[in-house]
Chain A
Amino acid sequence: MAFAYFPHTPDDIRQMLQRSGVSSIEELYSDVPEKFRFKGEYDLPDAMSEEEVRRYFTHLDSLNTRLTVFCGAGAYDHYSPAAVKYIISRSEFLTAYTPYQAEISQGTLRYIFEFQSMVCELTGMDCANASMYDGPTSAAEAMLMSVASVRKRRKVLISSSLLPNVIDVVRTYTGYHGVQTDTIEISDGVTSLEDLKRKLSGNDVAGVLVPGINRYGIIEDLEGFADAVHSAGALMAVYSDPSSLAVLKTPGEWGADIACGDGQTLGIPLCFGGPYVGFLACRKDLMRKLPGRIVGATEDLDGKRSFVLTLQAREQHIRREKATSNICSNQSLMALYVTVYLSLMGPEGLKKVNDLSYGGAHYLHRKLLETGKFSVVFDKPFLKEFVLATDIDVPYLQKVLADAGFFGALQTEEGYVSFCVTERRTREEIDALVAVVNDVIQK
């Protein structure tokens, strides 16, 4: 019976077998030892029609509860302009391969060049690659990159104030790679400069990773960090929320050598954690240590401005076991997502996103404190995410909020309660959430 994805008619098959010099399709597998051929029935569902597939997924969708999101912790519910989804759905982008054939891939190559340029502009760095899988893996690559760049040192320091999943992924990568990873202590909610200096004193550290905004939502003051790191002969990487960099001091301004983070905050849907997009940028002198694809400008035979994958001597398909990283695919389409998003938002739009998020988050912060059941843990500036201490049972609060249609009150490892407000949240939604919290308090 005919199947939509296989165009072969019985007559086609017959003619093709004849040309191939075999009498049956089975004969094409005659070199496969009999015992390895799967004779059983595949334990799979019966083939479905498109309508049946739709029904299955409609059912799947109905098993999830749609919640209004008041949490972050590495994934943020930001607004995305309608035109973004429209552009990334174009099949010329969606169904293309990695742009090895530059002549018929100028579309992909140009948007990657634009992406690299925008990442540089946001982070204050000189160069950026074509994207990474996500934020945590970009942080891990940043640490491996620093080890590859600083001779004879195989130790990195990462701040305990980074998001837990960033710390875990960095530890996984560095652990297998034979790189020692120590953490920098937290002091009053932020990375301790004193502890950093203490741990740098052995002059054996290759790279240091600190957050721009930390796990408590606090905007870290990195004054003095780069001097300390550089005087110990190490490189400094800052893990940033790129959306916040429209208003906050950039990794470049803090004196960082490497910038990394997750581009999800640039309007990418939550989608249960992926696909997102990591970014990795650095100072000019580290350019050849950057992992992954990089696009560069050049000219063609007729002198036309053209774009190509460049500096490929760093990469796995050329260098094999001597490559700076094993990354092959990146998240190209999500890099396009971010590029189109940033084009539409521009500097003003991105600033406005931050202003609205800041205003809403501080409004919720105040409202929660007014209930009398929450208290400030760290009196430090925050942008859109914050933690409070509370006597209320946090898992219970989270459950009641979920029953009321909210995802809020995430419990941190330290037992604090975390909330996040983006520009998508309205005053009515915040007031409704606070009303539920008040109900819990009064019970």
Chain B
Amino acid sequence: MKYYDKLIFELSKEGRCGYSLPDNMWEENTGSIPSGLRRTSVPRLPQVSEVDVVRHYTNLSDMNFGVDTGFYPLGSCTMKYNPKINEEIAGTAGFQGIHPLQPRSTVQGVMKLYNDLSASLSAITGMAAFTLNPFAGAHGELTGLMIMRRYHICRGDLKRTRVIVPDSAHGTNPASATVCGLEVVQVNSLPDGTIDVDHLKTLLDDTVAGIMMTNPNTLGLFETRIGEIADLVHGCGGLLYYDGANMNPLLGVVRPGDMGFDIMHLNLHKTFSTPHGGGGPGAGPVGVAERLRQYLPLPRMDGEEPEENAGRISGFMGNFGVLLKAYAYILMLGRQNIRMAGPLATLNANYVKESLKDCYMLPVPSVCKHEFVFDGLADQSTGVTTLDVAKRLLDYGFHAPTVYFPLLFHQSIMIEPTETESKETLDAFIDVMRKIAGEAAEDPDLVKSAPHNTPVRRPDETAAARHPVIRFQY
């Protein structure tokens, strides 16, 4: 990666352009619009030629790290390889040119995709029905909670406005609950990171709408008492929401529907291999148990609008382009290969954990699933922090793990190596992690001043927040 300092605005020169449009063949143009409705200034967009644009963004791309660049052990993010057939399929001109409001008779292929993909997701998760409309995981959470609330409201059970969220949950869980108008109640974790069922019991009453859970949880641990938790929550009239962010290790092994979950979302950009795109577009389909089918949001694949529907949560029917990619992946996996997806992810995580636990502090030493958490270096006397380790990894050509999350530990390093990574890749990562632990002991300043080989080094975030410059200054 080499540093490149330009912004597109700085390449602008009046009179240049990068487009090619036909000459105006019409009698009228926007000059006929009443002047009171027209803007008075010309927008200061860049004026650049096509080659300027292509070189600029190619240079920018050279300062970026992606899954295609190297290993991305980012916990709870499931950065698996993004197969190229997915891109080829989604780029098909026929799919790109379909208007979302075209008559149904002209979009039968689209309808078949929605139908086939939903059916596959149901088979994989054990949920009865899906909406493919939500645009992302957090959007799926919000949609799922809307379904939960609508269910209680339609039953006249209006006082159920509290939702239980574990203290180790992803930040989107409590945030989604608040946006949905629910009050968040935190349930404690035991020292091993699983839900404190005794504490849960004290929270359950007739004001509880439901509980949001990941399983495995953010420490990568399977909640072995899930059956009991489901009985307790159902027993008090609440619903169970499954946050699918950690679904990957269960792929081919366990179905959330069988564990008693009533509502769930999947992150197709995690578990189903669609690329993250630097932070979207993703897709967050929401699945429900049979008795919640009528609460799914509009517009629906069946074209129906049951009175109980949770409302409309998207302009049209979700990120169709992303759905195409996910289904291509499912077809490649098929019923045969899916059996190994979760187990190989779990094997990779345990292999890395066991290979590093003498150098890094492992607070919960049991078998993990897709990910695990270290609480910093085993030797904490060097003053080298988790942030330093993360930055030093960049020097060695790896993306950093998720750091300082979950909040249960002070120096969290959360590592998730997905099933698409080979033993050689993991060995190289293990070697570097061990080397950094050695550097921390022998030459701590080297690690504390890392990274040394990246285009920029520890940009000043405090200054950025104190004096925000968030647009180009002409």
Count chain B CB atoms within 10 A of each CB in A19, A60, A326 and give the residue with the most: A326
- Give the contacting residue for A36; candidates B174, B184, B258, B367; CB below 8 A: B258
* A326-B176 contact in complex given A107-B63, A117-B471, C-beta closer than 8 Å: yes
Q: Which residue of B lies closest to A421 (CB)?
A: B26
Best-buried of A19, A57, A308 by chain B (most CB within 10 Å): A57
For the complex formed, measure the closest distance between the CB of A188 and the CB atoms of chain B, giving whole angstroms. Answer: 15
In the complex, B307 has a CB within 8 A of chain A? no
In the complex the two chains form, is B322's CB within 8 Å of A275's CB?
A: yes
- Please choose the segment from B71-79, B231-239, B285-293, B375-383 that sits at the chain A interface, where 4 or more of its residues have CB less than 8 A away: B71-79
Asked whether B311 lies within 8 Å of A171 as measured between CB atoms, the reply is yes
Kindly state the interface size class of chain A when it binds its partner: 35 or more
Docked complex: B83-106 residues within 8 A CB-CB of A: 83, 85, 87-89, 91-92, 94-103, 105-106
Q: Are A248 and B334 in contact (CB under 8 A)?
A: no
**Residue contact A71 to B334, C-beta cutoff 8 Å:** no
List the B side residues contacting A253 at CB < 8 Å: 39-40
A-B contact count (CB 8 A): 691
Q: How far is the CA of A355 from the CA of B32 in the complex (A)?
A: 10
Query: A349 with B21: in contact, given A35-B227, A247-B38, A383-B33 (CB under 8 Å)?
Result: yes
Indicate if A8 sits at the interface (CB-CB under 8 A).
yes
Interface string of A83-100 (1 = CB under 8 A from B): 101110111111111110
What separation, in Å, do the CA atoms of A402 and B106 have in the docked complex? 8
Knowing that A85-B91, A273-B314 touch, tell me 18 more A-B residue pairs with CB under 8 angstroms. A35-B227, A38-B126, A44-B338, A53-B89, A53-B331, A54-B89, A60-B113, A64-B106, A66-B97, A92-B62, A99-B278, A134-B315, A173-B179, A249-B39, A302-B457, A320-B171, A328-B136, A359-B29
Q: Do residues B456 and A221 form an inter-chain contact, with CB atoms below 8 A?
A: no
Closest chain B CB from A293 CB (angstroms): 7
A92 near B66 with CB under 8 A, answer yes
Given contacts A37-B253, A64-B108, contact A177 B181 (CB under 8 A): yes
Interface residues of A in 355-369 (CB under 8 A from B): 355-356, 358-360, 362-363
**B160 interfacial contact with A, CB 8 Å:** no
A286 CB-CB contact with B under 8 Å? no
Our pick among A67, A85, A302, A359 for the contact of B25 (Cβ within 8 Å) is A359
Least Cβ distance of B246 to chain A in Å? Answer: 14
Q: Does A134 contact B394, Cβ atoms closer than 8 Å?
A: no
Task: Decide yes or no whether B222 CB sits under 8 A from chain A.
Answer: yes
A81–B320 alpha-carbon span in the complex (Å):
22
A48 touches B334 (CB 8 A): yes
Chain B residue contacts of A166, Cβ below 8 A:
315
- The answer to whether A42 touches B172 (Cβ under 8 A) is no
When chains A and B are docked, how far (Å) is the Cα of A221 from the Cα of B281? 34
Asked whether A153 is an interface residue with its Cβ less than 8 Å from the other chain, the reply is: no
Instruction: Tell me whether A247 and B181 are in contact in the complex, defined as CB-CB below 8 angstroms, given that A87-B54, A272-B100, A275-B319 are known contacts.
Output: no
- The answer to whether the Cβ of A128 comes within 8 Å of any Cβ in the partner chain is yes
Chain B residues within an 8 Å CB radius of A83: 18, 50, 53-54
Give bound CA distance, A29 to B320, whole Å.
Answer: 35
Assess the A97–B25 pair: CB atoms within 8 A: no
Q: Taking the complex as formed, is B8 at the interface, i.e. its CB lies under 8 A from any CB of chain A?
A: yes
* Cβ of A380 to closest chain B Cβ, rounded Å: 10
B:106-160 near A, CB below 8 Å: 106-110, 112-113, 119-120, 123-124, 126, 135-139, 141-142, 145-146, 149
Q: Is B177 an interface residue (CB 8 A)?
A: yes
